[in-house]
Amino acid sequence: MSLAIGQQAPDFNLYDTEKKIVTLSGQKGSNILLLFFPLAFTGVCTKELCSVRDNIAAYNNVNAKVFAISVDSPQTLARFKEEQHLNFTLLSDFNKEASEAYGCAYNAFIGWMKGVSKRSAFIIDKQGVVQYAEVLENAGELPDFEKINAALASLN
């Protein structure tokens, strides 16, 4: 079951690409855009995250921190971040705990991979409350960034 607007967002402890722990609770006081994505180095995921990279000023202008989460290892995400020149934090949910807590883990992805993150977007406000939630069943689709941007702008 995915999260609903108005719910307290589940905390997480995830490693970033520098193998440092990042927690959601440590982000209180900031608006957060959490983007779950299936796998690094895949076409749609690269397109999505490069679009965020190219539009990072829009997120900075509304004082939102961007975190992108996948079940890839920190080492894989570090290479992906470097190759794509991504300018926001990538987090490894290798143990699939955050994906499950946010209700966005596939039972089976492309037939045999279990626990891969569904492409999803969550906006979490400064108090840790979910203000936007979008979980896509089709990994080939992208989140609705117009709605995401509107929701972020409304928080300021």
Q: Residue 96 corresponds to which tokens in the numbers above?
A: 């699939």
DSSP annotation of 11 reads P
Examine the pLDDT at 45 and tell me if it is beyond 70: yes
Q: SS3 of 141, please?
A: coil
Predicted confidence at residue 1, as pLDDT, reads 55
Catalytic residue among 9, 24, 35, 45: 45
Sorted by where each starts, the structural domains of the chain and their CATH numbers stand as 33-154 (3.40.30.10)
Predicted confidence at residue 144, as pLDDT, reads 97
pLDDT digits 0-9 by tens, 95-142: 999 999 999 998 777 776 677 899 999 999 999 999 999 999 998 999
Predicted confidence at residue 49, as pLDDT, reads 98
Predicted confidence at residue 107, as pLDDT, reads 79
Examine the pLDDT at 2 and tell me if it is beyond 80: no
Query: What is the residue-wise DSSP string for 59-75?
Result: HHHTTEEEEEEESS-HH
Which ranges constitute the DSSP H helices of the chain?
Answer: 43-54, 56-61, 74-84, 97-101, 145-154
Examine the pLDDT at 74 and tell me if it is beyond 70: yes
For residues 30-36, give the mean pLDDT: 97
Query: What is the residue-wise DSSP string for 8-20?
Result: BPPP-EEEETTS-
Query: Average pLDDT over the chain, rounded to whole?
Result: 94
| Residue 104 among the catalytic residues | no
More confident residue, 1 or 42: 42
Predicted confidence at residue 114, as pLDDT, reads 76
Q: SS3 of 23, please?
A: strand
For residues 29 and 67, give the distance between their C-alpha atoms in angstroms, rounded to a whole number.
15
Predicted confidence at residue 22, as pLDDT, reads 98
